[in-house]
């Protein structure tokens, strides 16, 4: 029996661009889904820049073996969020992963086959930027388990939107359904006067979604409280319900649940 047999839905979080907030969206989506009573796993296949362990403040944990493979790292006592990342397998946190394609591909296959997730409502796969080795390996390894689809993350400016357009082409070529596009870092709301400043221009993600005929899941503004909770590994969804990013993140999760 496969280790993914108990996983109901698999989501990939993709972007053609680095630094747009894939890990942030993956983290907040997992926390939002947990608050809706779901059990969630995150598989971090960003082998060169694994940031998921840090965002949940479990970077010092180790992975243990069991009869059916690797036991994921649990974030809480209830085991409602479980994680697997190369970050847990490095001897020192500063170790670089200097690997060529075949070695990366082998580890991704192992992550897909050998992690004992148990029963999950959602498995979120956080990917590195781009459309190359890791992405092809991940999509191929997950294909037998029929992933629900992909969420594409972009920032509003044209350079980022252009790279995400290529990611849409990747999804078409690999037969991966696009669940929607998220525009992250979309404006900054001043905490004093509540005026919104569009630091990285505005509307690129929404325009791309319209143009490509895929759903637009929403804009997430730049929010110091969000950055702070990610830095400190805190639960933003629980602690900052009045912040400017909260309604956007909650709305994205609700659309995934629907």
Please, what is the average pLDDT of the chain?
A: 95
- For the chain, helix (H) and strand (E) counts, in that order, are 9, 11
Dist CA 165 CA 154 (whole Å): 10
Closest among 30, 34, 35, 41 to 6, alpha carbons compared: 41
Q: What global pTM score does this model have?
A: 0.95
Provide the annotated binding site for [4Fe-4S] cluster.
190, 193
**221 and 15 Cβ atoms separated by less than 8 Å:** no
In this predicted structure, what is the pLDDT of residue 155?
Answer: 95
Q: Is 67 helix (H, G, I), strand (E, B) or coil?
A: coil
Provide the annotated binding site for ATP.
16-23
Dist CA 164 CA 166 (whole Å): 5
What's the pLDDT tens digit per position in 20-78? 999 999 999 999 999 999 999 999 999 999 999 999 999 999 999 999 999 999 999 99
Closest among 26, 32, 27 to 254, alpha carbons compared: 32
**Residue partners of 100: CB distance under 8 A and separation at least 6:** none
Residue 219 pLDDT > 80: yes
Which two tokens mark 59? 């970077």
Q: Model confidence at 93, in pLDDT bands (50, 70, 90)?
A: confident
Provide the annotated binding site.
16-23, 190, 193
Which two tokens mark 216? 């637009």
In this predicted structure, what is the pLDDT of residue 189?
Answer: 83
Q: What is the mean pLDDT of residues 198-213?
A: 93
Percent of the chain with pLDDT over 70: 100
CA dihedral (50, 53, 55, 56) in degrees, to 10, reads: 160
What's the pLDDT tens digit per position in 128-182? 999 989 999 999 999 999 999 999 999 999 889 989 999 999 999 999 999 999 9
**25 and 184 Cβ atoms separated by less than 8 Å:** yes
- pLDDT higher at 196 or 183: 183
């Amino acid at each position: 029996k496969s280790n993914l047999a108990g996983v109901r839905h698999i989501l990939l979080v993709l972007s053609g661009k680095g630094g747009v907030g894939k890990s942030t969206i993956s983290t907040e989506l997992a926390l939002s889904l947990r608050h809706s009573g779901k059990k969630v796993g995150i598989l971090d296949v960003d082998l060169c820049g694994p940031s998921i362990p840090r965002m949940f403040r479990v970077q010092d944990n180790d992975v243990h073996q069991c009869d059916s493979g690797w036991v994921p790292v649990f974030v809480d006592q209830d085991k409602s969020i479980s994680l697997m990342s190369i970050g847990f397998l490095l001897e020192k946190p500063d170790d670089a992963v200097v690997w060529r394609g075949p070695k990366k591909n082998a580890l991704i296959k192992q992550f897909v086959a050998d992690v004992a997730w148990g029963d999950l409502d959602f498995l979120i796969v956080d990917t590195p930027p781009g459309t190359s080795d890791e992405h092809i390996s991940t999509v191929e390894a997950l294909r037998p388990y029929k992933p629900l689809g992909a969420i594409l993350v972009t920032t509003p400016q044209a350079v980022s939107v252009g790279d995400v357009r290529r990611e849409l082409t990747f999804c078409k070529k690999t037969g991966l359904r696009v669940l929607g596009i998220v525009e992250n870092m979309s404006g900054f709301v001043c905490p004093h006067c509540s005026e919104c400043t569009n630091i990285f221009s505005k509307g690129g993600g929404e325009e791309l979604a319209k143009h490509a005929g895929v759903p637009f899941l929403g804009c997430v503004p730049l929010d110091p409280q969000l950055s702070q909770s990610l830095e400190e590994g805190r639960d933003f969804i629980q602690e900052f319900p009045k912040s400017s990013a909260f309604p956007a993140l909650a709305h994205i999760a609700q659309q995934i649940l629907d």
